[in-house]
Amino acid sequence: MLIADLVLLLLALLLSYFLRFDTFTAWSYFQRWWPVVPALLILYPLAFHLFGLYRRMWQYAGSHEVLAIIAAASIASAVLAILIYGVMRPLKIISGFSRPMLIIDWLLNILLLGGVRFSSKIAWDITTGRKSRIGQGGVPRRILVIGAGDAGAMIVREMHNNPEINMLPVGFVDDDERKIGNYIHGVKVYGSRRDIPELARRLHVDEALIAMPTAPGKSIREIVSICESAGIRFRTLPGLFELLNGKVWLSQIREVQLEDLLRREPTSVNLEEIAGFISGATILVTGAGGSIGSELCRQIARFRPGHLILLGHGENSIYNIEQELCRKFPSLPRDVIIADIRDANKIHAILQRYRPQIVFHSAAHKHVPLMEHNVDEAITNNVLGTRNVVQAALTADVERFVLISTDKAVRPTSIMGATKRIAEMIVQEAAMRSGRAFVAVRFGNVLGSRGSVVPLFKEQIAAGGPITITHPEMTRFFMTIPEAVQLVIQAASLATPGQIYALDMGDPIRIVDLAKDLVELSGLKLGRDIEIVYTGLRPGEKLHEELFTRDEQRTATVYEKIFIAQSVPVDGDRLYRMIDLLAEYAAQMDEVAIRRTLRELVPDFQEAEVPLLEGGS
């Protein structure tokens, strides 16, 4: 390349003479100005070297390379002009020099030196284009790219540059009318998503690639439905930044965003407007290593609390969130405490030492089937642990207390749900007795939390299936982790003593529909790539969850999506008398007595009768 540049630099200089002057005069001037030649042959290669133009793979050249050539040539010509008019002419090395000839030479150098480089790209494009039409695995698959943005353009270029993937892009589809009829890397944008069925027939499409990494789940589902009706296979592609980072390949599916699965727009709250009570406060989070607890810590840290105390029982999870906060919020005053909420004396001592203004209580056992087989653990952790934290909070004059509860506490059919309902009652009784802002927040199923259904389904899909679902008619309310945390912080800002808050999560979603969405958004097809197997309800599970009991009156709050469950007063003496009994039975591991006492304390507690699957006996 360097030898070619030297030859072309000489050629460009000679051509500039002959373009500026007639043949005889040009030769005469060349004899007078020949000392310019060595300077030219040194300056241009040096500039090209400094701009890295000898280290580039020109078959992948683009606009950045064009700009680099122009910049290098411009700098070299500018230095040459300074050398000619600032050194050579004053020292009489040359006599005069035509200024227009400098401009002509500059333009010719860009054209010739750039042309020889881009000729390799043109040859590469022609060669790979021919290969891509042939394909290394036989006839290439004809691909319709849905999305004519940056991601789609990158995908098409990747197909052209890597014929071994055996894909031939035959057209784009995009809903932006300004793009329709134009070409991207030689591939035409034919129409919008409505045209997919007709284009699939006309262009003989084998597969559609959905290159819309930032599109909402609703749009992706609509496109998936159109592709299914057109009878063409489809796949979603990774986000553009993932492609740029080289983390994924074309053969990999796009990482499904949890918001895609909600079947509603995620609730978004401007926490900046409501989280002023956090700034400067001492805040304690129990269960700080869990999915909700750790996200709470992240959000709280944003609002500069005076002191954040992370309390948890599992050292690894607590260590992980503490290290993350250390990196992201190095100036945040914080303490990390490994403790079990069942240790009443230690919890009391911790709250007396730090005397937090706000406590977020998210520590709990939450797995329904596990708690059915470990009833005593559910009592000691969810009931006695909550009692310990609440009583310690009262003694330490905590101003705001927020319990993380669950929709499974409403007319519970499981041990876990019943224990969480008692935890709500403990908080309500403490609020009634003290008049302090002690409240509870009910969640639906939190997408992406540890132990939730989505990570399980993802693992099953990655393993090739099958996806296991307990019952085809099972439904659940779903929310994302950010939504759950926003609800907690909103509840803490409202904090009317004794209230139970719930989020309007839209209509409940069938678990089987969630599984179908997850499979389709992963670029696979249910029944062909992945199967569903129904296993029957597990102990403690029920088909449908609720957010409010029959005795609770649903009332609105100042926030559109937040509601209050107005419930009947709690008899504190009876509540704690029954809790003492539960503690005694848990110490004896007397499951029968525990279940009997739970039914007395929570009248709505009805242990689930497992419905038979169709065809069962």
CA separation for the pair 433, 71 (Å, rounded): 77
- Of the residues 408, 420, 542, 561, only one is catalytic, namely 408
CA 17 to chain centre: 61
3-state DSSP assignment of residue 347: helix
CA distance 593 to 512: 36
Reduced to 3 states (helix: H, G, I; strand: E, B; else coil), residue 422 is helix
Q: Are strands 467-469 and 532-534 parallel, antiparallel or unpaired?
A: parallel
Asked if 169 contacts 145 with a C-beta cutoff of 8 angstroms, the reply is: yes
**Locate tokens 């969480």: which residue?**
420
CA 113, CA 117: separation in Å to the nearest integer? 7
The DSSP-derived string for 26-66 is: HHHHHHHHTTHHHHHHHHHHHHHHHTTTTS--GGG--HHHH
Q: Which residue has the tokens 């937090």?
A: 356
* CA dist., res. 289 & res. 362, Å (int): 10
What is the CB neighbour count within 10 angstroms for residue 217?
21
The Cα–Cα gap between 521 and 234 comes to: 10
Residue 604 neighbours by CB under 8 Å, 6+ apart: 410, 411, 412, 421, 549, 550
Concerning whether 346 is annotated as a catalytic residue, the answer is no
Q: Would the CA dihedral through 351, 389, 291, 439 be positive or negative?
A: negative
CA distances from 488 to 385, 432, 451 (A): 20, 20, 20
Amino acid identity for residue 411 in this structure: R
Kindly list the catalytic residues.
408
